[in-house]
Amino acid sequence: MTAKFSISKTVILLLLAAGVVLILYPLSWMLASSFKSYDEIFGSVWGLPSKWLFSNYATAWSKGVANYFVNSGIVTISTIAGVVLIASLCAFGLSRYSFKFDRAALLFVMGGMMLNPQVCLVPLYILLQQTHLHNTLLALILPYIAFRLPLIVLLIRSYFLGVSKEIEESAKIDGCSAFQIYWRIFMPMSTPIILTSTILIAYYAWNEFLFAIIFIDSEKYKTIPAGLMSFKDALSTDWGVLLAGLVMSALPLILLFIFMQKYFIRGIAAGSVKG
């Protein structure tokens, strides 16, 4: 029994180690190559830089990454705020109130998860043109909010279902309105799932590429994924500068996940589907 357990444990550890290598290798290669010159990237693919070119980061920043960072930050923060606010209000209603079409409303929300954003590309483009939102940051923020809502509503609703009804009833006896119960009780108690939702939304909004290159034409409003495309020329590309831009674009999400991983795991576990 002990031998079998030891073998299975060893296999699991080997699989986990392989997963770590598969994840860390491309990241470490990208980080090391971002300090190399063009010739050294191709001449010494797996070696460390002979001369660490920190100027690649300064060049990338001055070539537009600073502006792309600001735009991505505005889009991501606005998307997070919009999705969390709307989704939590919707989840509160779906989890604490019974009404005639409550099941139909829940199915409607779940149906939104089956809608592929790429399928809506043409009608969305026409709609944004007609409403004069094309080539503005709202052209990204509003669709991002719409396509993230179904998943986040279900996650937060599942978490809200686990909140004791006695707490809600005690708040009503103390004279709290429905909104006060939502804002002062449910939201503070739901920090893990809110932070989990924040990570999921940020990952999507920060990295989304297709909408960013189609709905935005002006260099002024480009986000990081679309903006870095301008670093790649048809004839020659300064790969060191491009990789430096990629490192800077990945860093915020890596740091966000590192600092919030405890809450992310707790939120996913607590927000598993109920009801």
pTM: 0.86
pLDDT band at 233 (very low <50, low <70, confident <90, very high): low
> Which pLDDT score, from 0 to 100, does residue 27 have?
86
Pick 154 or 267 by higher pLDDT: 154
pLDDT over threshold 50, residue 177? yes
Q: Which residues pair with 37 in a beta bridge?
A: none
Whether the predicted pLDDT of 211 surpasses 80: yes
Main-chain dihedrals φ then ψ at residue 55, nearest 5 degrees? -65, -20
Q: Rounded mean pLDDT of the chain?
A: 86
Instruction: Give me the mean pLDDT over the 156-181 stretch.
Output: 87
Residue 198's nearest CA partner among 70, 93, 88 is 88
What per-residue confidence (pLDDT) applies to 3?
Answer: 56
Task: Evaluate if residue 134 carries a pLDDT over 90.
Answer: yes
Please state the rounded mean pLDDT for residues 15-37: 88
DSSP per position, the chain:
-HHHHHHHHHHHHHHHHHHHHHHHHHHHHHHHHTTS-HHHHHHSSSSPPSS--THHHHHHIIIIIHHHHHHHHHHHHHHHHHHHHHHHHHHHHHHH---TTHHHHHHHHHHHTT--GGGGHHHHHHHHHHTT-TTSTHHHHHHHHHHHHHHHHHHHHHHHHTS-HHHHHHHHHTT--HHHHIIIIIHHHTHHHHHHHHHHHHHHHHH--HHHHHS--SGGG--HHHHGGGGB-SS-B-HHHHHHHHHHHHHHHHHHHHHHHHHHHHHHHHTS---
Give me the percent of the chain exceeding a pLDDT of 70: 92
Q: How far apart are CA 125 and CA 121, in angstroms?
A: 6
Q: How far is CA 49 from CA 59, 207, 241, 242, 248, in A?
A: 18, 28, 14, 16, 18
Q: Is the pLDDT of residue 37 over 50?
A: yes
- The band of 223, judged by pLDDT with boundaries at 50, 70 and 90, is very high
Phi then psi for 237, rounded to 5 degrees? -130, 130
